[in-house]
Amino acid sequence: MSSFDSYNAKTTSISYPWPAEVNGIERIALSAQGDLQRVLSAFFARPIVIALVYSETTRQKSLQSPMEPVQTPTEAIIQSASPESPITQTRQVHLQCAGKIVCTATSTVRITSPDCARLFLQEKYAIGQMFRRLEKVPAFELLSVALGPVKGERQPSSSFTVSKDDSKQLWRKYTLVIPNFECEILEVFPSREMFLRGENWLTGTRADSIPELGGIVATKVDGNSPMVFKQSLSLVLAAGFLIMLIFEVSIYAGGRSRFC
């Protein structure tokens, strides 16, 4: 299946070669174009915070010269950023919600202007915030999407595995490009359950809805809760029947018709 993201005056259409297993909520997150923080914040209804794991910055004095490490981005280095003297940073961040990692993003960013270098390296804008700050919509290309362990990628100094069972992971690789700021990003979501359980996954609550009964919604708190709910309901019904039976007997003993 080919990939496309197109629109005209009245129609928008988006299609990528998704794995057959992914659901609608996952497709929304996987198609985020530089605004994943906003998408996840809307989903969880909580702030999403960026926590830096590591960053490695290098630069070239010319396209023919070797890469040089940059420990501190001085004003001279910032001003030197250009297409002929690019600055590159490889970085990994955790997107955290309520103190829990909801995504690990490993990025390679190429910067070719002083303005972008200053915002990113000195003022510490995250990638998503860079596009909003510059008021630019990035060109987006989804390179790959898969379930389970990350394969076919160079392992950085921090592991791509962000959950104990990496078979539950969901990940994608994509590019975002605006003038003078180009990003290749690998994002790993720790578990597909986060998109299914939402708040309950975030807080660690084991809760699954069970069918409504008489307008009452029961919540499964643990493995025995459905049975407890049924037993409680049976006790309520039995108590009601016993009250009705006592009422009928009292009327009969009093010698009065219940239809009076």
pLDDT (0 to 100) of residue 47: 97
Task: In whole angstroms, give the CA distance from residue 113 to residue 180.
Answer: 6
Which single residue is written with the structure tokens 């990939």? 3
- pLDDT score of 255: 53
Compute the average pLDDT of residues 192-197. 94
190 three-state secondary structure: coil
Q: What is the pLDDT of residue 226?
A: 47
Q: Which two tokens stand for residue 117?
A: 């270098």
Predicted confidence band at 220 (pLDDT cuts at 50, 70, 90)?
very low
Q: What is the pLDDT of residue 130?
A: 95
pLDDT tier for residue 216 given thresholds of 50, 70 and 90: very low
Range 129-144 burial, b when 16+ CB lie within 10 A, else e: bbbeebebebeeebee
Containing H/E element for 97?
strand 87-97
Say which range, 51-65, 110-124, 196-210, has the weakest mean pLDDT.
Answer: 196-210
- pLDDT for 151 equals 81
Q: What percent of the chain has pLDDT over 90?
A: 65
Task: Give residue 109's pLDDT.
Answer: 98
**Is the full-model pTM beyond 0.85?**
no
- Residue 109 sits at the vertex; the CA angle it makes with 56 and 6, to the nearest 5 degrees, is 155
**What's the whole-number mean pLDDT along residues 229-237?**
47
pLDDT in tens, 20-32: 999 999 999 999 9
